[in-house]
Structure 1
Amino acid sequence: MSEIITLAHGSGGKLTHQLIQGIFQKHFRNDWLLEGGDSAVLETLPGQMAFTTDSYVIHPLFFRGGNIGKLAVCGTVNDLAVCGAIPKYISCGWIIEEGFPLGELEEIAESMAATAQEAGVFIVTGDTKIVPRGCADKLFLNTSGVGFIPEGLRLSPALIRPGDQVIVTGTIGDHGTAILIEREQLQVETGLASDCAPLNGMLELITASMGGAVRLMRDPTRGGVATTLNEFTEGQSFGIRLEEHALPVKGEVSGLCGMLGMDPLYIANEGKALLIVDGAQAERAMELLRSHPNGRDAAVIGEVVADHPGKVYMRTLAGGHRIIDMLVGDQLPRIC
């Protein structure tokens, strides 16, 4: 096999089959994939099915803490998990630019396989398209995922009540800040890495143990925590008050954002979740989250309130209040 991707790899002929067998089947090997059909025929589970799809165009493709492949699996798994689903099956579509190194492609596939194994999901079907040089920026991925929601579990903004607590499962802004440092080759000394991680194990622990005490969950990716919380409150009869002193932000993130005029509340995360939980059960939720490696830095950052319906606002360190609106524009494009 050639050391780089050529247009012939997308012909459907021998090179296509070598690519599929030599990289994708090699790393994603499972019975569904090896059937080799035009569709994967899958077993279903009782309860509701959740289905999601997403595309990944991140730059750079490799970054501290992961790469586009790990990101794609985590993003799809997490989109299912925050809906209360147990992720099960993933598809992956590859759009590869002519000239892309096969060694890097295999490294990405290997990372996807390892992340899927960690999350307990199977990559069961996919597609590969090769485009001429200049028609794509090296590599784009599209993934879709299927999961199953246990019977009786319901998550909805309609369940949220004043007094409920707002929890974030860890420090905010790590992913976007790590990408910014690498993309712009900023000369800063830091051990900061992307927080990219599959969250389904941690969130299943919460929903299985607390049931109806969990009102709603989301992963605050593009637009960050602020935008996601605004999605919670939009058109609702309640508001959310954040506490600035409670926001878990690493020093490196806070310092860099301060220098560049950015706000960690709007920076993307890829390994954190926002939860709204019954206020009386918040302490129990925190115990469960902190018992899991991905939730060790979990924090209660705010409360659902009856005043300011449809709004998110923050009580500042100075004791004042300011409105936290949705992100306007894009602080950092191509973040995922």
Structure 2
Amino acid sequence: MSEEFNCPLPIDNTIERIRLGHGGGGRLTNNLIENVFKPLFSNEYLDKLHDGAIIDLPKNKIAFTTDSYTINPIFFPGGDIGKLAVTGTINDLAMCGARPKFLSLGLIIEEGFEIEKLKDILNSIKVTADKVGAMIVTGDTKVVNKGKGDGIYINTAGIGIIEHGLEILPQNVRPGDVIVLNGDVGRHGSAIMSVREGLEFESTLESDCEELWTTVEGILNSGVEVHCMRDLTRGGLVSALNEIAKASGLGVYIEEEKIPVIEEVEAICEVLGLDPLYVANEGRFIAIVPERYGEKVVSIMSSTLGTDARVIGKITEENPGKVIMKSLIGSNRLLDMISGEQLPRIC
């Protein structure tokens, strides 16, 4: 008597959810690569399916960065974890003054995750990378047991090309430099908290998740002498300014009335007991430049992003390593770094 054998792990492309076998390196893994990843990301480097991408680089300097993303919820107003992961790495390269060129993509996916959701996330990755001319050239996927993950986590690493002679570093800021902010702060963290389970607010607020290379490229091409740039992600504006103050050994002086915060962000932060100046952003950055370039940078920022860019302060010799803010009532306030995690899993 013969028994019909049925494979418990079908290998065609009709599977609707991620299975443990998708991370096993066998037929299911190959199926995922051929039917989900390659149709989106196909290029001369990735198509070789080697253990790594072999790249010919120009003789310029390069910038290299990496970041991991565990955001909850995965899909949020203004984006998703895929857009966020690529945007974050592109923006880190941009803050170095580097043109984003090559990206890696590492996925840790929970068993049972829907393939259609994965495709939506990968499409966001593709659209965001294409916008700046970057390519996904290598990647990896692992699958964890159901209940041992939280849908999907992503790691991206990026290589960017530095095509200018500027040294864009916190250590290069000088007394008298002005600090230019490219728009209102606190949107991303506030938008995430507005839709997080158990904290839902009635709000139309969207994350500011957006690539910054287009704006940075405009600044660099205009001949501005950029001393430092920093994106305002975890810890927000204040944490970024503190990092620069400590690295440079100089003081930072800003004025509260010059820092734009929209009403919806103020309202959400008030309910949650948060200060918008410490709340994460994903499309905001500061450029520190000699005073003579301040308004030029404001103009470029406003024209490329359509945001409320402003000069918000300056670098000083006074109060080295500290950030001082002139408050709305005219008194000076010391702004220290936060001591812990204010908003967990917002990126």
TM range (shorter): over 0.9
Amino acid in structure 1 at the alignment position of 2:80: N
Structure 2 counterpart of 1:327: 338
Structure 2 counterpart of 1:279: 291
Structure 1 counterpart of 2:229: 217
C-alpha displacement of 1:291 = 1.5
Query: Does residue 210 of structure 2 align to residue 197 of structure 1?
Result: yes
Amino acid in structure 1 at the alignment position of 2:54: V
Superposition TM-score, scaled by structure 2 size: 0.93
Amino acid in structure 1 at the alignment position of 2:296: R
Query: Does residue 331 of structure 2 align to residue 302 of structure 1?
Result: no
Amino acid in structure 2 at the alignment position of 1:104: K
Structure 2 counterpart of 1:171: 184
Structure 1 counterpart of 2:329: 318
Structure 1 counterpart of 2:134: 121
C-alpha displacement of 1:319 = 0.6
Please identify, of 30-39 and 318-327, the stretch whose mean Cα deviation from structure 2 is larger: 30-39
Indicate the SS of the match to 2:222. Answer: helix
Among 140, 149, 155, which residue is 2:168 paired with? 155
Among 30, 33, 43, which residue is 1:30 paired with? 43
How many Å separate the matches in 1 of 2:200 and 2:123? 30
How many Å separate the matches in 2 of 1:124 and 1:18? 18
Check conservation: 1:92, 1:144, Cα contact below 8 A: yes
C-alpha displacement of 1:118 = 1.1
Amino acid in structure 1 at the alignment position of 2:298: M
Please identify, of 138-147 and 236-245, the stretch whose mean Cα deviation from structure 2 is larger: 236-245
How many Å separate the matches in 1 of 2:239 and 2:94? 19
Structure 1 counterpart of 2:4: none
How many Å separate the matches in 2 of 1:31 and 1:157? 37
How many Å separate the matches in 2 of 1:151 and 1:296? 26
Structure 1 counterpart of 2:7: none
CA-atom RMSD, angstroms? Answer: 1.3
Among 90, 102, 109, which residue is 2:122 paired with? 109
How many Å separate the matches in 1 of 2:302 and 2:114? 41
How many Å separate the matches in 2 of 1:267 and 1:34? 40
Check conservation: 1:46, 1:151, Cα contact below 8 A: no
Structure 2 counterpart of 1:233: 245
Superposition TM-score, scaled by structure 1 size: 0.96
How many Å separate the matches in 1 of 2:29 and 2:250? 54
Indicate the SS of the match to 1:86. Answer: strand
Instruction: Note the alpha carbon deviations across 1:163-215, whole angstroms, 9 max, x for none.
Output: 2111111111100000001114545332210111111111011122134x211
Amino acid in structure 1 at the alignment position of 2:81: I
Please identify, of 281-290 and 101-110, the stretch whose mean Cα deviation from structure 2 is larger: 281-290
Check conservation: 2:166, 2:226, Cα contact below 8 A: no
Instruction: Note the alpha carbon deviations across 1:14-72, whole angstroms, 9 max, x for none.
Output: 21111111111111121211111111122212311111111111111000101000000
How many Å separate the matches in 1 of 2:200 and 2:52? 48
Indicate the SS of the match to 2:120. Answer: helix
How many Å separate the matches in 2 of 1:179 and 1:17? 35
Query: Does residue 142 of structure 2 align to residue 142 of structure 1?
Result: no
Percent of aligned pairs with the same residue?
47
Indicate the SS of the match to 2:45. Answer: helix
What does 1:248-287 correspond to in 2, within 5 Å?
A: 248-287=260-299
Indicate the SS of the match to 1:171. Answer: coil
C-alpha displacement of 1:102 = 0.7
Query: Please, which runs of 5 or more residues in structure 1 have no aligned partner?
Result: none
How many Å separate the matches in 2 of 1:221 and 1:147? 20
Query: Does residue 220 of structure 2 align to residue 207 of structure 1?
Result: yes
Query: Please, which runs of 5 or more residues in structure 2 have no aligned partner?
Result: 1-13
The number of equivalent residue pairs is 334
Task: Give runs of ≥4 in structure 1 deviating > 4 Å.
Answer: none
How many Å separate the matches in 2 of 1:229 and 1:302? 11
Check conservation: 1:46, 1:150, Cα contact below 8 A: no
Check conservation: 1:169, 1:295, Cα contact below 8 A: no
Indicate the SS of the match to 2:146. Answer: coil
How many Å separate the matches in 2 of 1:235 and 1:126? 34
How many Å separate the matches in 2 of 1:265 and 1:278? 24
Structure 2 counterpart of 1:6: 19
Amino acid in structure 1 at the alignment position of 2:231: D
Among 102, 106, 111, which residue is 1:89 paired with? 102
